[in-house]
Chains A and B, each alone.
Chain A
Amino acid sequence: MSQPEAALFVTCLADLMRPEVGFAAASLIQRAGFTVVVPRQGCCGQPNYNAGDKAGARDLAKAAIAALERFEIVVVPSGSCGGMIAKHYPHLFEADDPWRPRAERLASRTLELTQFLARHPLPDGPKAPAGKIAYHDSCSARRELGVLAEPRALIAAHTDAEIVPIADAESCCGFGGTFCVKYPEISARMASEKTAAIAATGAGMLVAADLGCLLNLGGTLKRQGSPIAIKHIAELLAGEP
């Protein structure tokens, strides 16, 4: 068996809150022709990094680097955590720190799930039924990683979904990690503007590639009594109900 290996960095949110996303991502990586390895892992360190605790973030990054650096490809089902590793890890270490080249190497091998699937396509199969869906881009995927076309192409290729555009799509949903608990009122305002735009699309389902946005928007929709379901793109593509 000479199938290449890919490590799955599942992210704390999927690990804890929505394990199905981890299993769906693993099955997609497998279908793309890779053996999935899930090394023992923790948090990427973003909560500490975003709170100004650079030393704390550095410690958590070292643990993640040590766990992941032996793999040629690391797949992350989140633009936020993927962006942390691929874009921010190198900045955590000074130029002369021996961890710097290790962080850079890992950064260059880390792909957000839809980036990975765009490079390593899934085999054609029956198209999963999906109906009318609204796709929300996370800010980190859109702006940090430049991921915009990939999820849409994947959805078009592997589901029968009709993607309807969300007005003011470039605006943030208001999650922002700890932002949503530090500034709940502003966060709630941003979330309700986004859910209003989503509701206006007439879509039956909201799909995104970041669990943070989904928990924020899905939770807001549910509290509002909206029937719109939420799904991570991994679950949608894997054909999970």
Chain B
Amino acid sequence: MTALDFKSRAHAAMNDAKLAPALKRMKSHFQTGRAMAAARFPEFEMLRDRAAAIRRRSIALMPDLLERFEANATAAGMQVHWAADAAEACAIAARICRDNGVRRAIKSKSMATEEIHLNAHLAREGIEAIETDLGEYIIQLRGERPSHIIAPAIHLSKEDVAETFRAAHGDLPPGRDIAERTALVKEARVKLREAFLTADAGITGANMLIAETGTILLVSNEGNIDLTATAPRLHIAIAGLDKIVESWDDAGIVLRVLARSATGQDMSSYVTCLTGAAAEGEAGPRQSHIILLDNGRSAMRASNKAEMLACIRCGACLNHCPIYAATGGHAYGGTYSGPMGAVLTPLFDGLRENADLPNASTFCGRCQEVCPVRIPLPMLLRHWREDAFAAGIPPRGERWGLGLWRWAGRANWRYRLATRAASLGLRLTGWWQRGTIRRLPLAGGNFTATRDMTPPSGASFQSRWKGQR
């Protein structure tokens, strides 16, 4: 992964002239889409409440529901595997491929497989994994990671994509016209159709695991998931433990808030429900596997961040986050970005290494407001900050400053003395800088780098208020 820290990555992203218009387009497109979908569906808020309860119930009953899922999936002919961590999940997937002579696998977009770096692991085992979601396909060709959980190539322009396709599709005539999006989509369709029809295995994630029937439910708009899970002779799904829901009724409610929150659609174009393996003569693979992935989820469930497991990966928190809108997804440095990424990445990749992520938030609360399952994301970020503070991770200067502020505030005379000194200092600085403070020392300099500061007009309010008691 990248050696730079969050601030450096954010700096680079904010100085990337092509990224800003892409992010602006993303923001207005997704925000308008969600708002319109919500407006034409009067039951939206009520179903958000129910979806929130369904997801919390799924977290609470997780062990029982997973066992139920396992029993029903097994009875239907699916093979269920459990992986404690990323290494184990990769090893299981590779073993299944090896045992079945798989050389080439097609994949649909799966954040779980991104999280465990499955493609790199399979490549080391000599198995080629081809991404089929258009956005994932593009970034795979470019050797990048997704910058948005539902729109992985959001940071790229059509010119970038054309350049990528020219480099990757060397067998096609170099003079072909792929300047327009329609031509690019068509080229990918043709290229990937070959892959769908010749691959030995299909690898997918899961949006929900329905316990009552042992069904894997997936959503997509391109139809690539249906092909991935149906065309090859073998199917492997990888799903976080958190994907579990109890029933089809529950899944139906979650689906209704998911698409509206994600893209502003009433229903995703494709909802794919997979149960067991195909019988003789039935469309689909004769062998079907699911790998249930823990990778820190059981630890998170036991922590004060358990509510994060309710997340249904819609991306609404990214789409409405002002930090994400400024920096894009790559600045977060992990698999997931935006507010949900800032909660998840410290779990997967370490708090000390990612301490900036929970801090880079104004706690504006927009993420929580739009979250379809009402996850209190600012509160979860705050919990990470508390963990970091307890572990002594914030810089020494910040910890001393907070300690001093706490000490001053515990006795009012000390607070008043501090305010009096600060007021005097600011007024003197203002006088010195001719009425407007344009430069402050230390951390204050970060404020005045882009802002003027009007010095206080006089001594503090409390020192001038008569008859204070």
Contacts and interface: CB of A to CB of B under 8 A. Distances in A.
Interface residues of B, number: 67
Interface string B430-460: 0000001010000110111111111011111
A180 B449 CA distance: 11
A143 B405 contact: no
B412 A63 contact: yes
B359 interface: yes
Contact of A188 (B415, B438, B450, B457): B450
A1 interface: no
B364 A176 contact: yes
A181 B443 contact: yes
Nearest to A10: B461
A86 to B, nearest CB: 14
Interface in A84-111: none
A43 B415 contact: yes
Interface in A191-205: 191-192
Contacts of B402: 47-48, 51, 53, 56
A220 B448 CA distance: 9
Contacts of B364: 139, 143, 171-172, 176
Contacts of B389: 51-54
A85 B229 CA distance: 53
Contacts of A179: 359-362
A63 B409 contact: yes
A212 to B, nearest CB: 10
B410 A59 contact: yes
Contact of A60 (B409, B438, B453): B409
Contacts of A215: 451, 453
Nearest to B391: A52
B468 A40 contact: yes
Contacts of A143: 364-366, 368-369
B462 interface: yes
B451 A175 contact: no
Nearest to A218: B454
Contacts of B468: 38-40
Interface stretch (A15-23, A123-131, A157-165): A15-23
Interface in A4-22: 10, 12, 14-22
A151 interface: no
A185 interface: yes
A96 to B, nearest CB: 18
Interface stretch (B40-48, B157-165, B259-267, B320-328): B320-328
A186 B360 contact: yes
Nearest to B452: A222
B25 interface: no
Interface residues of A, number: 67
B326 A48 contact: no
A170 interface: yes
Interface in A32-77: 37-43, 45, 47-56, 59-60, 63, 67
Contact of A22 (B360, B386, B461): B461
Contacts of B456: 16-19
Nearest to A21: B461
B268 interface: no
Contacts of A227: none
A187 B271 CA distance: 40
Given A41-B462, A48-B405, A50-B385, A220 B450 contact: yes
A186 B332 CA distance: 13
B322 A171 contact: yes
Contacts of B426: 16-17
Interface string B382-408: 101111111000100010001101101
B408 A185 contact: no
B170 to A, nearest CB: 40
A40 B405 contact: no
A14 B464 CA distance: 13
B422 A16 contact: yes
A78 interface: no
Nearest to A22: B461
A221 B189 CA distance: 49
Nearest to A175: B362
B465 to A, nearest CB: 5
Contacts of B11: 185
Contacts of A188: 449-451
A219 B451 contact: yes
A40 B469 contact: yes
A94 to B, nearest CB: 13
B270 interface: no
B53 interface: no
B10 interface: yes
A52 B363 contact: no
A236 to B, nearest CB: 17
Contacts of A10: 461-462
Interface string A126-154: 00000000000001100110000000000
Contacts of A15: 419, 460-462
B423 interface: yes
A56 B461 contact: no
Given A15-B462, A23-B461, A174 B385 contact: no
8 contacts: A10-B461, A19-B464, A21-B461, A37-B469, A42-B415, A49-B382, A181-B444, A216-B451
6 smallest beta-carbon distances between A and B, as pairs: A176-B362, A219-B451, A52-B385, A52-B389, A22-B461, A172-B364
Interface of B: 7, 10-11, 14, 322-323, 325-327, 359-366, 368-369, 382, 384-390, 394, 398, 402-403, 405-406, 408-410, 412, 415-416, 419, 422-423, 426, 436, 438, 443-444, 446-454, 456-462, 464-465, 468-469
Interface of A: 10, 12, 14-23, 26, 37-43, 45, 47-56, 59-60, 63, 67, 139-140, 143-144, 170-172, 174-177, 179-192, 215-216, 218-220, 222-223
